[in-house]
Structure 1
Amino acid sequence: MSRLAAFVVTSALLLGTAACGGEDDEPARREPPSVAELDDQLGSDRPEKQEPLPSAPPLTEEFVPPESAPELGARLGRAEDLARDPATEEAVRAAAAFETQLLYRQLARTPQWERRARAAVPPRYRADLDAHLTARRSLRSVLTTLSAELPAWEIVEPAPTADLRRFYREGERVHGVAWELLAAINLVETGFGKIRGLSSAGAQGPMQFIPSTWAAYGEGDVTDPHDAILGAANYLAANGGGTGTTTGPGVENALYRYNNHPGYVDGILAYASVLERDPRALHGLVRWQIVYLSTIGDLWLPVGYRETAPVPVRAYVRQHPERHLGTDTR
């Protein structure tokens, strides 16, 4: 099993094929959204002129955890608003997205706060809060051991959100795989392509293909976001996921073939549900950071991190103490 980076499960596609779910059990295929419809849902990446918005904490400042559940819920609602609004200035938007990521992580490991935090979150985000907690806990269940070393990775900027959503739309149009599933897998596997490196199983590219699976289902360059996303859509469709929906036995079977752990399936479905409720959430998720869960807790690996060999986590923290985001390893 490959190592997880906080919200990232860098895992290989499984070999082989599986029988698709029975046609009688599959949900009705939905029509893929048009370019105009999805652009209208997602909004533009280009900020519009407006009065200055409240500033979220810059990425360079130390994250200060909330001291109470109501504070966490209130901060989460404010940060989600900023992260999803295309009019938010980019630096604030990126910081707000990072804030949501860290708040969801804190709440997932503080279950006694859940009820009161949920009450403090604006009602429009309560279903998303539930989904984020499900995703976090489900994906955490995939990991059985923690590493005392950081991986040999390079962390880079992801492709523009507009490009990514166009690739997801194409995957849905060509192969019938719901775009939200492709986006959720892209998030979980490599943080939308921010992680470059080889997993312990030899998986490559933003959708984490092993060479033999890429040879069977991919076309072009495994490291190219467009080609990788289309290859993943092809693989999922071949295993029953081309239903045009995010639910049903065919979809679940396809996700299980992608990574044979029920926690992985549940995590992907939870993130996909967030995007299905509000496609603008993609803007925030793309701006999430790479946070690696190690034996000493959460470590932030910012864009520009590049190591060609594993690095002891304690040595990394001595050099970058501001990137140690917490000691809880849950």
Structure 2
Amino acid sequence: MRRRWIGGLALAVLVSGCGATTAAPREPAPAPPAASPAPSASAADESGDAGSEGSAGTATSPVRPSASTEALDAPPAPDAAIPTSPDRLAKAVVTTEAALKRAIDDWRGDDGKAGGEPPEAVVLWSLHQQRLYRVLGHDAGLTRRTLARLPAAVADRARDNAEAARDLFDLTRPTSTPGRFRTQEPPRAEDLRGYMRGAERRFGVDWEVLAAVMLVETKFGRLRSPSSAGAQGPMQFMPATWKAYGLGGDVHDPRDAVTGAANYLRASGAPGDYRRALYAYNHDRRYVDAVQRYARQIRRDARAYYAYHSWQVFVLTTKGDLRLTGP
């Protein structure tokens, strides 16, 4: 479905918690690739980084939630400074994860459904979480030292988010023209989840995988610019691919786009072989790894979906990170 194109619109934006797609759908749509081998190791496993240092069993004592964390600290300002030392970063990650979970629980209420727009606490804590993982994603050494200071459960989440960020950063060429990107408000989180659950029932593709793809492609529809290759819509389809798999729908309509993506992933090997299907969606192992990391966190705790849905669009520019959406 996709071919890699370095330096294009989406590659410059949608990088792990940053905001745009990493490649454009292939035109015309290819036949599904041959079955892939066993899942490849993550970047951390291949380099010897992080893989064994994220649990509480290391020589460095892990950070524990403080009394202030339990009381749900006030959310940080949108551009609050991010720590750069492993000790302070680890403390910030623990505090942020705990506070964000509580804020999401308050939003979802007793029925577990998030009604309306996210409250300010969810928006601000999610943005802070995203910014923390962007910092870690840019620095493998800092990630390794920070993971060693985290409790095992938090380290697992931090590792997946930081490694996903690193994988997608590796696919990105910084842009010098961020003004060309166009954004919009995304569909509501509960509405999108309903579309994804419907597509799951129809095609057997896990809604968590569809959510992870949409996160990486357009930050759940926040990015509305077409790619330089012509990919369109919240799931970034090329016209010929959409014609083949879009079931006659509107590529810009979130429900239709999610349904078309599920149809394409099913035709490419899902749910039996998600790596094969995701590789058909974007021919790069790093893309596949990143999507699977995000999907894994959503499967483990649905609150991760609501946090990711509140992540904002960032552009990786030649002068550094630039945030385009949010408070």
Taking structure 1 as the reference length, what is the TM-score of the superposition? 0.76
Counterpart for residue 123 of structure 2 = 94
SS at structure 2 position matched to 1:206? coil
Counterpart for residue 13 of structure 1 = 25
Q: CA deviation at 1:159?
A: 1.1
Counterpart for residue 223 of structure 2 = 195
> Is it true that 1:4 corresponds to 2:27 in the alignment?
no
Identify the match of residue 322 of structure 2 among 299, 304, 323: 299
Q: Which amino acid aligns with 2:225?
A: G
Structure 2 stretches lacking a partner, 5+ long: 40-69, 108-117
> Is it true that 1:281 corresponds to 2:298 in the alignment?
no
Counterpart for residue 97 of structure 2 = 80
Partner Cα distance (1:9, 1:195) in 2: 7
Partner Cα distance (1:259, 1:9) in 2: 13
Q: CA deviation at 1:124?
A: 2.2
CA 1:116–1:20 in structure 2 vs 1: closer, same or farther (change >3 Å)? Answer: closer
Identify the match of residue 157 of structure 2 among 116, 128, 140: 128
> Is it true that 1:214 corresponds to 2:237 in the alignment?
no
Q: Deviations over 1:219-259 (max 9, x none)?
A: 3111111110010000000010133xxxxxx2111111111
Q: CA deviation at 1:154?
A: 2.3
> Is it true that 1:269 corresponds to 2:292 in the alignment?
yes
SS at structure 1 position matched to 2:232? coil
Q: Which amino acid aligns with 1:261?
A: D
Aligned structure 1 segments of 4 or more residues deviating by more than 6 angstroms: none
Q: CA deviation at 1:276?
A: 1.5
Partner Cα distance (2:129, 2:135) in 1: 10
Q: CA deviation at 1:101?
A: 0.6
> Is it true that 1:56 corresponds to 2:68 in the alignment?
no
Q: CA deviation at 1:303?
A: 5.0
Partner Cα distance (1:268, 1:151) in 2: 27
Counterpart for residue 112 of structure 2 = none
SS at structure 1 position matched to 2:289? helix
Q: CA deviation at 1:52?
A: 7.8
The CA RMSD measured in Å over matched residues stands at 2.3
Q: CA deviation at 1:137?
A: 1.4
Q: Which amino acid aligns with 1:175?
A: F
Counterpart for residue 192 of structure 2 = 164
- Paired residues of 1:20 and 1:240 also in contact (CA < 8 A): no
> Is it true that 1:180 corresponds to 2:208 in the alignment?
yes
Q: Deviations over 1:270-322 (max 9, x none)?
A: 11111121111111111111111011110010259xxxxxxxxxxxxxxxxxx
Partner Cα distance (1:254, 1:67) in 2: 37
Q: Which amino acid aligns with 1:161?
A: A
Q: CA deviation at 1:203?
A: 0.6
Partner Cα distance (1:52, 1:78) in 2: 10
Q: Which amino acid aligns with 1:79?
A: T
Q: Which amino acid aligns with 1:256?
A: Y
SS at structure 2 position matched to 1:293? strand
- Count of aligned positions: 269
Q: Percent identity?
A: 36
Q: CA deviation at 1:168?
A: 1.4
Identify the match of residue 83 of structure 2 among 62, 66, 69: 66
Counterpart for residue 257 of structure 1 = 280
SS at structure 2 position matched to 1:93? helix
Structure 1 stretches lacking a partner, 5+ long: 27-50, 244-249, 305-330
- Paired residues of 2:196 and 2:207 also in contact (CA < 8 A): yes
Partner Cα distance (1:167, 1:186) in 2: 12
Partner Cα distance (1:151, 1:224) in 2: 24
Counterpart for residue 171 of structure 2 = 142
Q: Which amino acid aligns with 1:56?
A: P
Partner Cα distance (2:227, 2:302) in 1: 30
SS at structure 1 position matched to 2:323? strand
SS at structure 2 position matched to 1:292? strand
Q: Which amino acid aligns with 1:97?
A: S
Partner Cα distance (1:113, 1:197) in 2: 33
Q: Which amino acid aligns with 2:92?
A: R
- Paired residues of 1:192 and 1:206 also in contact (CA < 8 A): yes
Counterpart for residue 228 of structure 1 = 257
